[in-house]
Structure 1
Amino acid sequence: MAYKQPESVLVVIHTRELEVLLLERARQPGLWQSVTGSREGDETPLATARREVLEETGIDCQHYALSDWRIENTYEIFASWRHRYAPGTTHNTERVFALELPGRIAIATAPDEHRAHCWLPWEEAAERCFSWSNRDAIRLLSVLAMSKAPGPTP
């Protein structure tokens, strides 16, 4: 059995209007998240992000703005998922990315991984996520977007 590497990516896919794409896990109904996935082989985090987005949504990142936020979160792996990792592995390091789309586009989810998807305003998307790191990334997305917005003119 090949074990998963305890290194992964989180990719927050959003529109310019800050609608966020969420995916519902197939094996854990009710658990909503952004695109996530583990590093394979000697992939760079960027290559992992591109592959996972394509596998989970059908979106080719090369046509859109994928940005590496250079943020890493370390968290404890749920006990129910630890069998996927080498014995003794208890924590995962996750690299955060964002993928900006001009607007909503068609999504082709991987049925073995996700049972549904939805687009939500960032506030609702953050509240629906089961993962604290996903929730924090979506909230940061809104802060970054507001910092780019032009201020009032005198």
Structure 2
Amino acid sequence: MSETAQAQPRPKIPQSVLVVIHTPALNVLLIERAKQPGFWQSVTGSKDFLDEDWRETAVREVAEETGIVVGSHCISPEHLQDWALENVYEIYPVWRKRYGPGVTHNTERVFSLCVPEGTPVTLAPHEHTRYEWLPLAAAADRCFSPSNAEAILQLPQRWSGR
């Protein structure tokens, strides 16, 4: 390979998770994308390999993007709830180049994670620059993704209140 040639990144797998992180009082954590200022969202991320378990993807993405570790002393694994809900949506054209040729749609599996009030958040600075804890309606209004906003609004019916 020549000095100027660089290895191309592996195409993203069009299967991702959406994890709505919230407190028992239903305040929702939103994070702002580093490369798209003003784009607020919950934790999202693609599988690393095709047969990666949805739950493994959710646990990994939460840790990578927020520093919150599912299974740590105050974040029980049972607080990560798989809604068994999958959204299929068209990938925004600006992000399609990260996927293989001809890939236009993504399947997103929805989870929620209840964390104690005051849970520290450590952002991955190359991915997100700011975070805020917001009440449900304000969080849903701030999201750029319709499926993310809808999941936030479904939280009161989906959360088991454990």
TM-score above 0.5: yes
1:66 aligns with 2:80: yes
Aligned length: 147
The aligned counterpart of 1:77 is 91
Task: Return 5+ residue gaps in structure 1 as ranges.
Answer: 149-154
Q: Tell me how far apart the structure 2 counterparts of residues 81 and 12 of structure 1 sit (CA, whole Å).
A: 22
Q: Is the 8 A contact 2:83 2:158 kept in 1?
A: no
The aligned counterpart of 1:47 is 56
The aligned counterpart of 1:95 is 109
CA deviation after TM superposition for structure 1 residue 105, in Å: 1.0
CA deviation after TM superposition for structure 1 residue 108, in Å: 0.2
The aligned counterpart of 1:151 is none
TM-score by length of 2: 0.87
Q: 2:46 aligns with which of 38, 41, 44?
A: 38
Q: Tell me how far apart the structure 2 counterparts of residues 39 and 116 of structure 1 sit (CA, whole Å).
A: 24
CA deviation after TM superposition for structure 1 residue 60, in Å: 0.5
The aligned counterpart of 2:32 is 24
Q: 1:14 aligns with which of 1, 22, 32?
A: 22
1:3 aligns with 2:17: no
TM-score by length of 1: 0.92
Q: Tell me how far apart the structure 2 counterparts of residues 61 and 125 of structure 1 sit (CA, whole Å).
A: 22
CA deviation after TM superposition for structure 1 residue 61, in Å: 1.0
Q: Tell me how far apart the structure 1 counterparts of residues 70 and 135 of structure 2 sit (CA, whole Å).
A: 21
The aligned counterpart of 1:152 is none
Identity %: 56
1:118 aligns with 2:127: no
What is the identity, as a one-letter code, of the residue corresponding to 1:28? Q
CA deviation after TM superposition for structure 1 residue 126, in Å: 0.6
Task: Return 5+ residue gaps in structure 2 as ranges.
Answer: 1-7
